[in-house]
Amino acid sequence: MQPSSETPVPAQEHWTHKGEVRLYLYEKAAVSEPHRGTILFVHGSSMGARPSFDLQVPGRPSSSAMDHFARLGFDTWCVDMEGYAHSDQKRPINCDIANGADDLAAATDYIRRMRGTDKVMLYGISSGALRAALFAQRHPERVARLALDAFVWTGDGSPTLEHRRKRLPEFVAVNRRPIDRDFVRSIFSRDHPGCAEEHVIEAFADAILAVESSVPTGTYVDMCTKLPICDPEKITVPTLIMRGQYDGIAGVDDLLEFFRRLPNPDKQFAVMAGISHASFQQKNYLAVYHILHGFFTLPEPVFRG
């Protein structure tokens, strides 16, 4: 029998190293059969992993993406990138996207050692999607399927990045930037207010601010000055592009051109109705889960021509 949305999912904390840097990982293992594989969730620029992927909100069924997918038969993991939440913040660097791809290499090394998992299903959101895409470009042998949510390629047609570039000198001057409750609220008001419920936004802010009051600037700087960071023609794994209807981080034409250049024919492009940014915290989050679950459980082609 399939577990209900209230079935508890045991959690386990882990630590690994990237050289001298200590990285925090969090695991929620599958609580149903058959086993569907392993998902590694990759967070964005402004918060660590657990608020993004294990947000518990009373009265909101399956609010935690990790719980939801564990109940569907997936082992689920997330990792705090260097400079975020529980992972080390000691190096005087801004923790850019390439550094985050290095963190994913260390995380997948650890998951393979601990669980014998050679390939993960990788989900990244916003700058986490850039980290995930760059990691998949570098290490396709470690990625079974790649889902890129709120992704940006060249930055063309992005009102969010256009606005962010106005503050670029401020971000370049320091390695960390402060965050507070008003900032978290702005994530949900900048594109299309009303896509998320107020009590979910406040719970999200509570979870983020309980752990950190500042985050690295590296991903912001990269997204304003270094795009494109990933080459779609070098991403050979099956790939899903997820774009919220109202998301301001990437223009549709920018994403469609990226999608067109992906060489693997096992690819999908999904527009998510009524979604802005931070899709797992939106009113339509169950539709997001459905799209992701469909891609992660797609049978391998028996004929390729």
Alpha-carbon gap, residue 202 to 200, rounded angstroms: 5
In a domain, 6, yes or no: no
Predicted confidence (pLDDT) at residue 292 exceeds the cutoff of 60:
yes
% the chain with pLDDT above 90: 96
Residues 123, 147 contacting (CB under 8 angstroms):
yes
- pLDDT value of position 162: 96
At 2, is the pLDDT very low, low, confident or very high (cuts 50, 70, 90)? low
Alpha-carbon gap, residue 24 to 13, rounded angstroms: 7
Predicted confidence (pLDDT) at residue 129 exceeds the cutoff of 90:
yes
- The tally of domains found in the chain comes to 1
- pLDDT value of position 215: 98
Predicted confidence (pLDDT) at residue 276 exceeds the cutoff of 60:
yes
| 267 Ramachandran zone, left/alpha/beta (phi>0; psi -120 to 50) | beta
Say how many CA atoms lie within 13 Å of 300 toward its Cβ: 5
In a domain, 3, yes or no: no
In a domain, 275, yes or no: yes
In a domain, 301, yes or no: no
Predicted confidence (pLDDT) at residue 7 exceeds the cutoff of 90:
no
In a domain, 88, yes or no: yes
Q: What is the pTM of this model?
A: 0.97
In a domain, 255, yes or no: yes
Residues 39, 91 contacting (CB under 8 angstroms):
no
Q: What is the CATH number of the domain that holds 256?
A: 3.40.50.1820
Mean pLDDT to the nearest integer, 24-40: 97
Predicted confidence (pLDDT) at residue 174 exceeds the cutoff of 70:
yes
In a domain, 5, yes or no: no
Predicted confidence (pLDDT) at residue 217 exceeds the cutoff of 80:
yes
- pLDDT value of position 183: 98
Q: Containing domain of residue 111, as a range?
A: 11-296
Go through 95-119 and write b for each residue having 16 or more CB atoms within 10 A of its CB, e for each that does not.
Answer: bbbbbbbbbbebbbebbeeeeebeb
Alpha-carbon gap, residue 81 to 104, rounded angstroms: 8
**49-100 pLDDT, tens per residue?**
999 999 999 999 999 999 999 999 999 999 999 999 999 999 999 999 999 9
In a domain, 2, yes or no: no
- pLDDT value of position 304: 87
- pLDDT value of position 1: 55
- pLDDT value of position 6: 75
Sign of CA dihedral 6, 12, 17, 20: positive
